[in-house]
Chains A and B, each alone.
Chain A
Amino acid sequence: MLKYARLFALLCAPISVASAADNYTIDPIHSFPYFEVGHMEMSTVRGRFDKIAGKITLDLAAKTGSIDVSIDTASIDTGHPKGENGMRSRDEHLRSPDFFNAAEFPTMSYKSTKLNFKGDVLESVDGNLTLLGVTKPVKLTVTAFKCGTNPMTKKDMCGADAVAKIKRSDFGMKTWIPMVGDDITVLLNVEAYKN
């Protein structure tokens, strides 16, 4: 009998560990991926994607978790949405096959492979970015991370800021390099509510 009880406990152990993980859904109105890119090697243009969706799983006790984010490429916004005098705007150009090719690749995604903690704090995320059908490893360095209760809604949530550096040419986006820079800084701010 004791043998069966031990076996049962052993089988249940992974389940109890897994159940400690909390699932979060990204809040799309407080989460945005921003980017910075050099223009003409003179200045920096900044923009963001307005539509993001995804799930986060966190087990703070076990210091594990996962991130799965999808970004609508057509939602790109660099502050120039409408062209003038028959010429297309910068946002329209960025959606074209020259850059994000939104008609053919309506989404890009980031899936984590490992969350790296330092003590209780999430320090970085290893994962894969899929852009224009090309998947490459991208490391997110987390610059701020906090979990707690939203004082307004009283819901449990986590928030983080993260930064990453990528080369757009690695994903096949080669148009007008170097006039439009190859090195891209990605800045991500995420808030997610516990399900």
Chain B
Amino acid sequence: MTEWLTHPAFQSGVAPFVSASLMLLGAYRSRWIGLCVTAGFVTVVALAVGFSFEPLTASRKLVLLVVAAAALGAASDLAVKRARRHTLALTLLAGAGAVWMVAGVLRQQDAARVMLYAAGSSAYFIWLVISVNAQQADSLRAGAGGLALGVASGGAAILGASALLGQMGIALGAACTAYLLAQFVAGRRLACGRIFTLPVAVLSAAIGVAGVLLGQLPWYALPLLAVLPFVAAIPLPAITRLRLELALRVAMAIGAAAMSLLIIWRTVADGSV
């Protein structure tokens, strides 16, 4: 059993899938079902590195950001009235969170790079928060987008030399797979909301930014990853059968993620980075 627990495939694939599934079962008819992503993420962190926050490195800040995103997402869903200012505040918080996460790297850089890295990191966070949150009312689009972002961000992080970030991305993919599978089995849409989309956006954004600034992921991997939420949300002809739509969205998401990874892998293999 101990050998299983220390195996990266179990830590990032099987265990997050199981914990997300348990969350789905436990909160099946409630709005808290969206916490399945956070459950999967917390599981991979617990098994791979554990919870310690001293010193507060970028990868530890990443953990705090995702948990905070889940809490903010839940609070946002519970809010009676969603003002535009509310959305703006979440977006600005995401941008600020990006800079906070990479502050340790920024301290090592000259002023020009600090500006470049801070602006780039914030822009990527903000972009993903806006684009993933846009799918909060549609559990199939949001789930497929999360699956694509998880698999592609995780795979890209591994190509950028960090297996740990890769494990986190794959865990996101596993949790989203559990979420989509539950809808496939039940034959109905589950609750979604920002409690689901905000952690998806923040986790995948954090993995991408950390892969570039802490690992060796080429910067132009980020625009490739940034289009994935839109690919998963491409309007389909009127489909009444949920399972068919789900299968099509998953196929599009996996295809787009695979294409992104192929391009990143080829550029890394060519030695152009």
A joins B in a complex: yes
User: Is B108's CB under 8 angstroms from A132's CB?
Assistant: no
User: Is A98's CB under 8 angstroms from B162's CB?
Assistant: yes
Asked if B42 lies at the interface with its beta carbon under 8 angstroms from chain A, I say no
Asked if A172 lies at the interface with its beta carbon under 8 angstroms from chain B, I say yes
User: Is A104's CB under 8 angstroms from B58's CB?
Assistant: yes
User: Is A86's CB under 8 angstroms from B160's CB?
Assistant: no
Asked if A54 lies at the interface with its beta carbon under 8 angstroms from chain B, I say no
Asked if B52 lies at the interface with its beta carbon under 8 angstroms from chain A, I say yes
Contacts of A98 in B (CB 8 A): 162-164
User: Is B163's CB under 8 angstroms from A175's CB?
Assistant: yes
Q: Which of A93, A103, A172, A178 is close to B55, meaning CB atoms less than 8 Å apart?
A: A172
Q: Which of A86, A93, A95, A97 is close to B269, meaning CB atoms less than 8 Å apart?
A: A86
User: Is B49's CB under 8 angstroms from A133's CB?
Assistant: no
Asked if B165 lies at the interface with its beta carbon under 8 angstroms from chain A, I say yes
Asked if B76 lies at the interface with its beta carbon under 8 angstroms from chain A, I say no
Contacts of A106 in B (CB 8 A): 108
Asked if A10 lies at the interface with its beta carbon under 8 angstroms from chain B, I say no
Contacts of B55 in A (CB 8 A): 132-134, 172
State the main secondary structure of chain A at its contact with B.
loop
Interface size class of A (residues with CB under 8 A): 20 to 34
Identify the closest chain A residue to B212 (Cβ): A103
User: Is B160's CB under 8 angstroms from A97's CB?
Assistant: no
Q: Which of A85, A103, A178 is close to B6, meaning CB atoms less than 8 Å apart?
A: A178
User: Is B214's CB under 8 angstroms from A101's CB?
Assistant: yes
Contacts of A17 in B (CB 8 A): none
User: Is B162's CB under 8 angstroms from A103's CB?
Assistant: no
Given contacts A86-B159, A97-B165, A103-B108, contact A175 B213 (CB under 8 A): no
Given contacts A88-B216, A96-B214, contact A179 B6 (CB under 8 A): yes
User: Is A104's CB under 8 angstroms from B104's CB?
Assistant: yes
B182 → chain A, closest Cβ, in Å?
31
From residue 90 to 145 of chain A, which have CB atoms closer than 8 A to chain B? 92-93, 95-98, 101, 103-106, 132-134
A76 → chain B, closest Cβ, in Å?
12
Asked if B100 lies at the interface with its beta carbon under 8 angstroms from chain A, I say no
Asked if A46 lies at the interface with its beta carbon under 8 angstroms from chain B, I say no
Contacts of A97 in B (CB 8 A): 57-59, 162, 164-165, 210, 214-215
Asked if A177 lies at the interface with its beta carbon under 8 angstroms from chain B, I say yes
Most chain A C-beta atoms within 10 Å of own C-beta, residue among B163, B266, B269: B163
Bound CA span A174–B60, Å: 12
User: Is B269's CB under 8 angstroms from A104's CB?
Assistant: no
Asked if A87 lies at the interface with its beta carbon under 8 angstroms from chain B, I say yes
User: Is B214's CB under 8 angstroms from A88's CB?
Assistant: no
From residue 109 to 133 of chain B, which have CB atoms closer than 8 A to chain A? none
- Interchain residue pairs with CB less than 8 A apart (15): A88-B159, A88-B216, A88-B268, A93-B162, A96-B160, A96-B216, A97-B165, A97-B215, A98-B164, A101-B214, A103-B213, A103-B214, A172-B57, A174-B48, A175-B164
Chain A residues within 8 Å of B, Cβ to Cβ: 85-88, 92-93, 95-98, 101, 103-106, 132-134, 172, 174-179
Q: A93-B161, A97-B215, A101-B58 are in contact. List 19 more A-B contacts (CB 8 A).
A: A86-B159, A86-B268, A86-B269, A88-B216, A88-B268, A92-B216, A96-B160, A96-B163, A96-B214, A96-B215, A97-B164, A98-B162, A101-B59, A103-B214, A132-B57, A174-B48, A175-B163, A176-B6, A177-B6
Q: Which 5 A-B pairs have the closest CB atoms?
A: A86-B269, A133-B55, A88-B161, A104-B104, A96-B162
